[in-house]
Amino acid sequence: MKRARSSLVHQLAYAAKNPDRIAPHLRRLARDTWFRLRTRDHVAYYRAVMKSDTARDPEGAVGSHTHRRWLALGRMQFDYLVEHGLKPDHRMLEIGCGNLRAGRLFIDYLHTGNYYGIDISPDILMAAQNTIVGHGLNHKVPYLTPVRDLRLAFLPGEHFDVVHAHSVFSHSPLHVIEECFAHVGRVMKPAAWFDFTFDRTEGKEHHVLREDFYYRTETLVALAAGYGLRATFMDDWERGPHKQSKIRITKG
């Protein structure tokens, strides 16, 4: 079971064990406080975080601090979906596609024009364009679109076979996840599936600096059910090395 990282006792114990992390954490705390004061809601706040992180290092901004890790994390996502039945003729929506850590593999695998990536950060989408160029994927004509919210109103109904969101809800307050659940079913084909990862706690739900959010599985399952969606905890993903958990949403 993961401990409540926001608790003062936990934080003090962690600081005592990791004194080298104190200065970077304080810098992050100061930066995030400044962004919070200057932005009107969570999405605007997180967009500012991404702008700052992307300017420093786009691969670091999506959570990979070495290029090797960036490649490995993309591969892990890709292999899992292919093992679960992703086919080249499927149409895929990737929510929070970042700089295409996994997206570059999906774009390469899917038929031309079948990949659609959205993100709240225009800065990371510009980095995503560099990934497309760097990997010679221009001819696959991927769509990349900045979004303000997760209402998905500009996308056609029953269009996508697969929806994917890796390490996005781990950075999202519950109302953002709820907005997604309220609308994602409309763009999914009847037999489509939507996989997302989240930071799981079996204790008290909490967040760290409003950047990292920890949820109980049953909270997300019940939230999905409220919108007529079936949510299944993916046990086989737990056997892999990734520290987040995965839930699959289907329409019935």
SS3 (DSSP) at 85? coil
d(CA 199, CA 4): 12
Question: Could you tell me if residue 141 is left (phi over 0), alpha (psi between -120 and 50 degrees) or otherwise beta?
Answer: left
- Residue 166 engages ligand SAM in binding (rule: CB under 6 A): yes
- Residue 120 engages ligand SAM in binding (rule: CB under 6 A): yes
Whose Cβ is closer to ligand SAM: residue 50's or residue 231's? 50
Residue 214, H or E segment: strand 212-215
- Residue 172 engages ligand SAM in binding (rule: CB under 6 A): yes
Whose Cβ is closer to ligand SAM: residue 97's or residue 187's? 97
* Chosen residue from 116, 161, 163, 167 binding ligand SAM by CB under 6 A: 167
196 strand-pairing partners: 165, 247
Binding segment (CB under 6 A) for ligand SAM, from list 78-86, 131-139, 161-169, 208-216: 161-169
d(CA 12, CA 68): 32
Residues of span 80-119 touching ligand SAM by CB under 6 A: 95-98, 101-102, 118-119
HSE value, Cβ hemisphere, 13 Å, CA-based, for 192: 22
Question: What binding mask, one character per residue, do residues 16-55 give for ligand SAM by CB under 6 A, x or -?
Answer: ---------------------------x--x---x-----
Closest separation between CB of residue 186 and ligand SAM, Å? 16
Whose Cβ is closer to ligand SAM: residue 50's or residue 107's? 50
Closest separation between CB of residue 199 and ligand SAM, Å? 11
Q: How far is CA 116 from the centre of its chain?
A: 14
Tell me the site size for ligand SAM, rule CB under 6 A: 24
d(CA 239, CA 218): 20
Closest separation between CB of residue 11 and ligand SAM, Å? 22
SS3 (DSSP) at 84? coil
- Residue 127 engages ligand SAM in binding (rule: CB under 6 A): no
SS3 (DSSP) at 209? coil
HSE value, Cβ hemisphere, 13 Å, CA-based, for 176: 22
Q: How do beta strands 92-95 and 160-165 pair? A: parallel
Contacting residues toward ligand SAM, per CB under 6 A: 43, 46, 50, 62-63, 95-98, 101-102, 118-121, 124, 147, 150, 166-168, 171-172, 176
